[in-house]
């Protein structure tokens, strides 16, 4: 009975058509987006200090944390890992520098700082839908290493703004991370591509306007200028 349906991903949109026989013309794909003013690149000094890999995932095991710890063993000792999670992290190899950050809330200052200090973002999920942390990392200008689960390939373009590796393969995860660790130029290029993806598809302000425009059109009151003004006053 809805005049319009909104999904966060093309994966979900395709499911509505194939599994629920919804007319494709009734569906709009609008990701939730991130605050591009908040999630932005930090002032990283290229080539100075250790390369920092960032992992953000509430369920450490399901998000592929154990595979990441194994992969870190194959990287130079100078590479450091920051793990943001709500789970217990066990089995950290003795030769891996790993800092575990627990209890961080979304948009927390410490979390934002970790994004800005990172050089690479890794999320080798065993199963996922559309992880918001990938959009945050993309907006922060990071190259992304992930698995092709759910709608992840809609954010991570293999070979463009990062790498997609098989689920559960610590060896291929290590290989992808090593390519980025060894090549600062590649990190910068892929990080720039990530920012372009975030600006095009994951700008929360722009995507929220699209939602309001859909609601106004459905109500028969399409006034984009007025909607924009209201949102400006709210922000």
Residue 162 class from Cβ within 10 Å (0-12 exposed, 13-18 middle, 19+ buried)? buried
Per-residue model confidence as pLDDT tens digits over 166-175? 999 999 999 9
Spatial contact of 226 and 50, defined as CB atoms under 8 Å apart: no
Per residue in 99-120, pLDDT (tens digit) is: 999 989 999 999 999 999 999 9
pLDDT of 219 strictly over 80 = yes
pLDDT in tens, 141-191: 999 999 999 999 999 999 999 999 999 999 999 999 999 999 999 999 999
φ/ψ (deg, to 5) at 23: -65, 130
Judge contact between 148 and 154, C-beta under 8 A.
no
| pLDDT(228) > 90 | no
Cα-based angle 184, 33, 119 (whole degrees, multiple of 5): 15
Higher-pLDDT residue of 231, 3: 3
CA distance 71 to 176: 10
Q: Is-above-0.85 flag for pTM?
A: yes
pLDDT(138) > 50: yes
């Amino acid at each position: 009975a809805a005049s319009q349906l909104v999904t966060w991903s093309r994966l979900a949109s395709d499911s509505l058509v194939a599994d629920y026989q919804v007319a494709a013309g009734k569906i709009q794909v609008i990701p939730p987006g991130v605050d591009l003013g908040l999630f932005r690149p930090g002032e990283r000094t290229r080539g100075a200090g250790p390369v920092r890999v960032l992992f953000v995932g509430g369920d450490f095991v399901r998000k592929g944390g154990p595979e990441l710890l194994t992969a870190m063993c194959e990287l130079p000792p100078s590479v450091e890992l920051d793990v943001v999670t709500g789970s217990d992290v066990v089995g950290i190899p003795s030769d891996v520098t790993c800092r575990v950050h627990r209890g961080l809330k979304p948009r927390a200052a410490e979390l934002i700082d970790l994004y800005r200090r990172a050089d690479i973002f890794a999320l080798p999920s065993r199963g996922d839908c559309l992880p918001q942390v990938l959009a945050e990392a993309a907006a922060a200008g990071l190259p992304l290493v992930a698995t092709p689960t759910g709608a992840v390939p809609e954010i991570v373009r293999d070979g463009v703004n990062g790498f997609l590796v098989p689920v559960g393969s610590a060896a291929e995860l290590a290989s992808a991370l090593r390519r980025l660790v060894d090549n600062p130029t590649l990190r910068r290029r892929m990080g720039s591509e990530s920012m372009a993806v975030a600006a095009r598809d994951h700008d929360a302000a722009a995507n929220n306007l699209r939602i309001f425009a859909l609601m106004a059109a459905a109500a028969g009151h399409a006034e984009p200028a007025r909607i924009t003004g209201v949102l400006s006053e709210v922000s």
